Amino acid sequence: MSNIRESFIPFRRTDIINLCLEDGKLQGKDVQLFQEFCDILTAFFHFRFHHTLESIKDNYTIFNPNSDVKTLQEPSLEEYEEMENEVIKGFKYILERANYIQLSDDIVQKSLEAKSLINLQTDVDFDNFDEFYCYYRGDIDEHITVKKFKFFKRERIIDILERVVLLIKFKGPGYFQAKAKKDKQYKTLNFIPGKMYLYFYKNIPKLDLDLLFPNIQTSMTWKDKLLFGVPAIGAAIPLLLRAVPNILLVIVAIFILLKADSVVQSIEVDKEKVRDLMPILVATLSLTMTLGGFAVKQYTKYKSKEIKFQKEVSDTLFFKNLANNASVFQALVDIAEEEECKEIILVYYHILTSQEKLNTEKLDRKIEQWMTEKLGIEMDFDIHGPLNNLEKLRGKIVYEDNNEDEIKEVPLLSYDQQGNINILPLEDSKMILDYVWDNAFQYNGC
């Protein structure tokens, strides 16, 4: 479990609005004005994130392994690289807006190297990737009971990531064609070279992150190899030591066991020597069968673990999968839009209802304390994002007798010389949002 306090707000936007209204600090017509302010704010940010989604979709089409549409013209190498950069840029943007945290490559590697519940050697070749990003939200501990030595059970703490998002861009066909000449496993691929794969999962143990990779390979652990190899070698050595010096006698002994008397008579060999060899041969064969049987048992056990592992992979891909490829962007944009609006609403409400001047640090502490008191959650509220968004919302406050052309745009939020935050009253704030919404297509670059 991570000690990092996250910025994600695990409640619906409508619940946050209702909590603000139930706080009792807004009275009379301000209640209706606040609700209208939240409605227009939500509509505007829905429009902005829709524009972001459309831009990502346009650039992602050529990288989408599930795409069923054609392009009129293949992009040039420069255009291809630019489109790839735009997809990754948009991917990072919406995940940051959704308050997801990037897992560093070191943490991912450590998770892959650690033992999972199924003791099987796994390998993910990161050299196959042109680009790789992993984000998560929610790092919790879960207590489970596992069997040990069949009869004993013990409790184990598993580190669970509540949400995991992967972006994997595979290298091109030429790379894998060259690999296939050296390694047979690359002749049949579970993915399309050059394409970009996105995965969105829930409740994934950190130890099982390797299950999510399409290029995962499984093999025996050192323990499996020893348990399988040592008995096999142990069965072969005594047999060879006993049989090689007396190979002819061994052959005759086998024919005697098979009751092939005519064949035995045609071979000129002393039967007394054969009879002396019989106990040795029987003992050797018994040892061979015992050790060989143990080796077969270990191999069967390994194959059983491999089947169990494949089932766990299948269960993870089916039951814990939330979205794949293009649909991942749609799901994340929806989450990012909600998070952005919840943060702005909380910031605006607390500045609006505060009886004292607030700077950034005081406002941050005030909101975090309010969230703890109202919802019982400890969080690291992202104060700078919503403040920047409110400061960028600029418009004209136009009354009936005013000439709009003569009125200058003003920001919805500003700072005084001491760093304290000033915000427009509800009526004026709503007029700013009305102006921004009416000019949304011209204002799209805010």
Determine the Cα–Cα distance for residues 186 and 32; give it in Å rounded to an integer: 63
Closest Cα partner for 112 from 123, 126, 120?
123
What value does the mean pLDDT take over residues 55-76? Answer: 93
What value does the mean pLDDT take over residues 8-35? Answer: 96
What is the pLDDT at residue 215?
A: 81
What value does the mean pLDDT take over residues 204-233? Answer: 67
- Residue pair 96/89 in contact (Cβ under 8 Å)? The answer is no
What value does the mean pLDDT take over residues 202-212? Answer: 86
Please report, rounded to a whole number, the percentage of residues in the chain having pLDDT higher than 70: 72
- Residue pair 295/235 in contact (Cβ under 8 Å)? The answer is yes
Question: pLDDT tier at 162 (50, 70, 90 boundaries)?
Answer: very high
Q: How many residues does the chain have?
A: 446
What is the pLDDT at residue 443?
A: 46
For the chain, the average pLDDT equals 83
**Under 8 Å CB-to-CB from 246, ≥6 apart: which residues?**
277
What value does the mean pLDDT take over residues 46-62? Answer: 96
What value does the mean pLDDT take over residues 68-91? Answer: 94
What value does the mean pLDDT take over residues 377-406? Answer: 89
Higher pLDDT, 132 or 291: 132
- Residue pair 16/9 in contact (Cβ under 8 Å)? The answer is yes
- Model confidence at 111: pLDDT above 80: no
- Model confidence at 118: pLDDT above 60: no
Question: pLDDT tier at 13 (50, 70, 90 boundaries)?
Answer: very high
**Under 8 Å CB-to-CB from 230, ≥6 apart: which residues?**
none
What value does the mean pLDDT take over residues 232-250? Answer: 53
What is the pLDDT at residue 446?
A: 45
What value does the mean pLDDT take over residues 136-156? Answer: 74
Higher pLDDT, 153 or 262: 153
**Under 8 Å CB-to-CB from 105, ≥6 apart: which residues?**
132
What is the pLDDT at residue 216?
A: 76
What is the pLDDT at residue 77?
A: 93
Greatest mean pLDDT among 141-145, 297-301, 340-344 lies in 340-344
Greatest mean pLDDT among 32-36, 243-247, 250-254, 402-406 lies in 32-36
What value does the mean pLDDT take over residues 367-396? Answer: 95
**Under 8 Å CB-to-CB from 281, ≥6 apart: which residues?**
242, 243, 250, 253
What is the pLDDT at residue 113?
A: 75
Question: pLDDT tier at 312 (50, 70, 90 boundaries)?
Answer: low
- Model confidence at 222: pLDDT above 60: no
What is the pLDDT at residue 106?
A: 82
What value does the mean pLDDT take over residues 247-274? Answer: 54
Phi, psi angle pair for 106, to nearest 5°: -65, -45
pLDDT tens digits for 314-345?
666 668 899 999 999 999 999 999 999 999 99
What is the pLDDT at residue 431?
A: 93
The angle at the Cα of 29, spanning 24 to 35, to the nearest 5 degrees, equals 75
